A and B are shown apart, each in its own frame.
Chain A
Amino acid sequence: MADVAIHSATVVRPRGAKPKTRFSGGNIMLYGTLFVVSVYYLLPLWVMVMTSLKGMPEIRMGNIFAPPVEITFQPWVKAWSEACTGLNCDGLSRGFWNSVMITVPSVIISIIVASVNGYALVNWRFKGSEVFFTILIFGSFIPYQIMLYPIVILLREMHIYGTLYGLILVHTIFGMPILTLLFRNYFSSLPEELFKAARVDGAGFWRIYFQIMVPMSLPIFVVALILQITGIWNDFLFGVVFTKPEIYPMTVQLNNIVNSVQGVKEYNVNMAATLLTGLVPLIIYFVSGKLFVRGIAAGAVKG
């Protein structure tokens, strides 16, 4: 049809792909903006990496953008295993392992519970399930500051205040609204007839969950995993409020190293410590970038 229209036209039109002008105004604007924005975000990272590889004498010369004349990994070693916070002088490694011990169980438990929540809310509607869901979502709108002190009291009464268990419990509960929403929306996008077919096939609540629902929901599990790992790893507030110095998570310990007031400010060690702390979320994003976007799109579209 289109061919016929072109041939029958009396005006001779140019053929082939439309030629591109590389230096059009639009392109210059576009790439210019992108360049400025990338510099804006990359420059701090550049400064951090460079500073962490310099010795203190070189830092004192003040050229923060200049690459190191003499590369040294000593600040990294010190940040990891020697930096002092209070009485402990075993570096960030302590905080790292604390964070691992907090993050792993919190992530696993919250995802398991939230996915079962979402599955039950979609497929096994019970009386008042919508009310339950509304309350759960409403919970996520209450500012954390309001809940801090009541939670301290609750944890104290449960005798887990100041322990890893207490913090794990808090992270698990605070992950619930967003994760339940995520899983609920994803499960409700799966065809309902599959669930019905499984019921006719005699599968019960758990069998349908494990054999039908979970295998079809890999993307959303990955999204939940990323959200939770980065969220809990980056948490500072709960870590500082609900734990004590020996079990501070990495973020809190980083703050204590960087903000310590005695002695010389070791910028190179501070930069190395910050990079070390940020490494875990950074790796997660790099590894799963594409899946992350796909999962967010899948989970967020349907209300």
Chain B
Amino acid sequence: MTHSIQVKDLSLNFGSVSVLKNMNIDVAEGEFIVLLGPSGCGKSTLLNCLAGLLDITDGEIWIKGKNVTWAEPSDRGIGMVFQSYALYPQMTVRGNLSFGLKNAKMPKEEIDKRIARAAGILQIEPLLDRKPAALSGGQRQRVAIGRALVRDVDVFLFDEPLSNLDAKLRSELRVEIKRLHSRLNNTMVYVTHDQIEALTLADRIAVMRSGIIQQLAAPQEIYNRPSNLFVAGFIGSPSMNFLHGATIDGGAAFQFASTKINLAGYEGGAILDRPKAILGLRPEHLHIQDHSEPGLTIPAVVEIDEPMGADSLVWLEAEGGLKMSVRVPVERRMAAGTPVHLKVDISKASIFDTASEQRV
């Protein structure tokens, strides 16, 4: 596997504030990496470092086997797409696309050829002689992608490219970016705070929090086996149900209030006896039934039932006032106040150590 981007021990400080801490990422050629995290976690900052728009404090950045740590943005073999499109307002679309190529002193025929190709791929040929002000949001973002495309680079950097678009356009362009990736097979690094974008687009997701990568793995892995409590809570909507309790019997069971849950079939490491532990259960990995099964179910009372079209979300209250959510088929309506039992699918559950917040 050849590396397209390698980030080695990268750190960035703004004065005394440490923004990125000792990062290491290897991106394979043609891979689609999504940097995901809440606002202020450093994901856009990391992207700006890759682009060369911010000087890093420590570490190295390699792109295509070249050390580009101190190279100019234009010499790194990257193209970048911004959230606000960042189209030059006084130039036509053609001018926007050709600006970088003219700076590189490329001959005119080659420029025209590249613009024609990019315009063809993105279907923006009719727009070439318009100014950005005369374009819609989706068209502008297409042109912005085109500007990266004409540079004919190996690495595309996307900085929240869809955040300024409305929901419908966002899902359309999301598919288009995915199609573009499968067609061009470039390496893409994509920053977003939208987990749907992350889960749908990425080959691998890097979940970040306060300048540290919490987990770098394939979307399914991140979803099913979050490496710590933060990732578990951040990914998934509604978020995972967390039961605070203890593991007992040498790790064979989980004690939550008066309920004991059998942990046989848990996929993970050695559970051991932990006086304080958290059992994480996703809403779709719980099943509502009316009878209790010792060691397999949690008693709860229905509070509200939220039909959401495709499925329905039931909010319940378990022992000790704990609020839980369960995803059920939309046909199944639940009356408030109904006592039920939630069956746990332990093979899809996650157990976290309360002190270290790490998954067991």
Interface residues of chain A, those whose CB is within 8 Å of chain B, are 191, 193-194, 196-203, 207, 211-212, 215-216
Within 8 Å by CB of A196, from B53, B79, B87, B151, lies B53
B84 and A193 within 8 A (CB): yes
Assembly CA distance A194 to B115 (angstroms):
20
Option from A191, A194, A201 in Cβ contact (under 8 Å) with B100: A201
Interface range for B:
20 to 34
Q: Is the interface of A mostly helix, strand, loop or mixed?
A: helix
Interface membership of chain B positions 55-86, coded 1 if the CB is closer than 8 angstroms to chain A and 0 otherwise: 00000000000000000111100111011111
Let me know if A203 and B99 touch, CB within 8 A.
yes
Check if B90 sits within 8 Å of A200, measured CB to CB. no
Known: A191-B84, A200-B80, A201-B99. 19 other contacts (CB 8 A): A191-B86, A193-B82, A193-B83, A196-B73, A198-B99, A199-B72, A200-B100, A201-B74, A202-B73, A202-B75, A202-B103, A203-B74, A203-B100, A203-B103, A207-B103, A211-B88, A211-B99, A215-B90, A216-B90
20 A-B residue pairs with CB within 8 Å? A191-B84, A193-B84, A193-B85, A193-B86, A196-B51, A197-B86, A199-B52, A199-B53, A200-B73, A200-B78, A200-B79, A201-B99, A201-B103, A201-B151, A202-B72, A202-B73, A202-B75, A203-B74, A203-B99, A207-B103
User: Which residue of chain A lies nearest to B89 when distances are taken between CB atoms in the complex?
Assistant: A216
Residue of B nearest to A190 (CB): B89
Min C-beta distance of A50 to chain B, whole Å: 49
* Shortest distance from the beta carbon of B107 to any chain A beta carbon, whole Å: 16
* Interface flag for B359 (CB, 8 Å): no
A198 touches B88 (CB 8 A): yes
- Report chain B residues within 8 Å CB of A194: 86, 88
* Residues in chain B near residue A216, CB distance under 8 A: 89-90
Closest residue of chain A to B97, judged by CB? Answer: A201
Partner of B73, one of A193, A199, A215: A199
Among B78, B82, B85, which residue has the most Cβ atoms of chain A within 10 A? B82
How far is it, in angstroms, between the C-alpha of A196 and the C-alpha of B82 when the chains are bound? 9
B52, B78, B87, B88, most chain A CB atoms within 10 A: B88
A-B contact count (CB 8 A): 62
Q: Give Cα distance in the complex from A215 to B51, angstroms.
A: 26
Q: How far is the CB of A246 from chain B (nearest CB, A)?
A: 45
Task: Give chain B interface residues in 104-149, CB to chain A under 8 Å.
Answer: 104, 147
Asked if A197 and B90 sit within 8 Å, CB to CB, the answer is: no
In whole angstroms, what is the CA distance A198 to B96 when docked? 10
Cβ 8 A contact of A199, one of B74, B85, B89, B104: B74
Measured between alpha carbons, how far is A207 from B99 in the docked complex, in Å? 10
Contacts of B75 in A (CB 8 A): 202
CA distance A177 to B147 in the complex (A): 38
Chain B residues within an 8 Å CB radius of A199? 52-53, 72-74
Task: Give Cα A207 to B78, complex, Å.
Answer: 20
List 6 tightest A-B contacts by C-beta distance, closest first.
A202-B74, A201-B100, A193-B86, A197-B86, A202-B103, A215-B90
Task: List B contacts of A196 (CB < 8 A).
Answer: 48, 51, 53, 73, 80, 82, 86
**Chain A positions within 8 Å of B51 at CB level:** 196, 200
Q: Contacts of A193 on B, CB cut-off 8 Å?
A: 82-86, 159
Cα distance, A72 to B332, chains bound together (Å): 99
CA distance A198 to B87 in the complex (A): 9
B73 CB contacts on chain A under 8 angstroms:
196, 199-200, 202
Pairwise interchain contact A202-B100, C-beta atoms closer than 8 A = yes
Q: How far apart are the CA atoms of A198 and B48 in the complex, in Å?
A: 14
CB atoms of B147 and A201 under 8 A apart: yes
Q: For the complex, give the distance between the alpha carbons of A216 and B52 in Å.
A: 25
CB-based nearest B residue for A196: B53
Q: Which B residue's beta carbon lies closest to that of A201?
A: B100
**How far is it, in angstroms, between the C-alpha of A76 and the C-alpha of B80 when the chains are bound?**
64
Q: A207 to B85, alpha carbons, bound, how many Å?
A: 20
CB-nearest residue of chain B to A218: B90
Cβ contacts under 8 Å, B151 to chain A:
201
Docked complex: B37-61 residues within 8 A CB-CB of A: 48, 51-53
Contact residues in A for B89 (Cβ distance below 8 Å): 216
Q: How far is the CB of B63 from chain A (nearest CB, A)?
A: 13
Cα of A127 to Cα of B165 in the assembled complex, Å: 37
B contact residues around A200 at 8 Å (CB): 51, 53, 73-74, 78-80, 100
Query: What CA separation (Å) do A194 and B87 show in the bound complex?
Result: 7
Q: How far is the CA of A201 from the CA of B52 in the complex (A)?
A: 12
Q: How far is the CB of B12 from chain A (nearest CB, A)?
A: 15
Q: How far is the CB of A177 from chain B (nearest CB, A)?
A: 27
Residues of A near B100 (CB, < 8 A) are 200-203
Residues of B within 8 A of A198 (CB): 88, 99
Q: Is the CB of B86 within 8 A of A202?
A: no
Q: Which of B48, B52, B82, B104 contacts A197 (CB 8 A)?
A: B82
Most B CB within 10 A of own CB, among A194, A198, A200, A212: A200
- What is the CB-to-nearest-CB distance from A114 to chain B, in angstroms, rounded to a whole number? 22
- Complex alpha-carbon distance, A193 and B48, angstroms: 11
B94 to chain A, nearest CB (A): 14
Given that A212-B88, A215-B90, A216-B89 are known contacts, is A197 also in contact with B80, CB under 8 Å in the complex? yes
Q: CA separation between A191 and B87, bound complex, in Å?
A: 10
| Complex CA–CA separation, A121 to B88 (angstroms) | 21
B-chain residues with CB within 8 Å of residue A215 when the two chains form the complex = 90
Q: Could you tell me the distance between the alpha carbons of A194 and B72 in the complex, rounded to whole angstroms?
A: 16
Complex Cα spacing A199 to B54, Å: 11
Q: Is the CB of A202 within 8 A of B80?
A: no
C-alpha gap A194/B132 in the complex (Å): 13
Bound-complex Cα distance A200 to B88 (A): 13
